[in-house]
Chain A
Amino acid sequence: DTEVTQTPKHLVMGMTNKKSLKCEQHMGHRAMYWYKQKAKKPPELMFVYSYEKLSINESVPSRFSPECPNSSLLNLHLHALQPEDSALYLCASSQDYPGPYEQYFGPGTRLTVT
């Protein structure tokens, strides 16, 4: 199984809402990633988890809060977002050290902030 799944596929939320994005993989990968992609732009790295510990935070605003409850799951908690945060949020996973290894991407969650 080389699939990364993400839920929900689409999400519309208001600026005062709290919501969560979920990502799951069963490939035994110990590295997981969140990317943000705006229209006609490449994906931009947000966070990296290595062995369930946050290893990279690309200066992402605190209204985005990642969580890695176990080696198969990755969440992104959203709170008090702004309309400019509307984008496609992609999760990816890969093997870890020694690396680097190809990343497997999920289909993404398309987020609209109203």
Chain B
Amino acid sequence: GQNIDQPTEMTATEGAIVQINCTYQTSGFNGLFWYQQHAGEAPTFLSYNVLDGLEEKGRFSSFLSRSKGYSYLLLKELQMKDSASYLCAPHSGGGADGLTFGKGTHLIIQP
């Protein structure tokens, strides 16, 4: 089974930095996905971490610590369009396995 924990909601200011945490306990682990979902839209892929450490991709970075069962998504230079839900999904299988998402973090960006 899986136990995935994320904060339900976070608020940040335009231009600032925000860190969204995800802790997980899984029976197996290969890597961790982060997806973004705007209200009323489909989820879109942000990152996939396999190795420990920080991976940077433009304004978004994702960090993984396999030994601690911990990941975070770091969003810099926040823009209003970053208001969305952010979903983490630890992955334990291979190939076509489907995703089990955490409950998601609803991020609100204020001017």
Residue positions of A touching B, CB distance < 8 A: 4, 30-31, 33, 41-45, 48-50, 55-56, 58, 90, 94, 96-100, 102-108
Contact = CB atoms under 8 A, between A and B. Distances in A.
Interface string B35-54: 00000011111001000000
Contact of B94 (A4, A94, A97, A107): A97
Given A42-B87, A45-B99, A105 B42 contact: yes
User: B interface, how many residues as a size bin?
Assistant: 20 to 34
Main SS at interface, chain B: loop
A43 B31 CA distance: 19
Contacts of B45: 102-104
Contact of B98 (A30, A48, A98): A48
Contact of B33 (A43, A45, A102): A102
A57 B43 CA distance: 21
Contact of B95 (A50, A102, A103, A106): A50
A99 B42 CA distance: 22
A97 B97 CA distance: 10
Contacts of B97: 48, 56, 99-100
Nearest to B100: A45
A56 B98 contact: yes
B93 to A, nearest CB: 7
Given A45-B99, A56-B98, A96-B96, 12 more contacts: A41-B104, A42-B103, A43-B87, A43-B101, A44-B101, A50-B96, A99-B93, A100-B31, A100-B93, A100-B95, A107-B42, A108-B42
Contacts of B48: 100, 102
Contacts of A107: 41-42
Contacts of B102: 42
Which of B48, B99, B103 gathers the greatest number of chain A CB atoms within 10 Å?
B99
A103 B103 contact: no
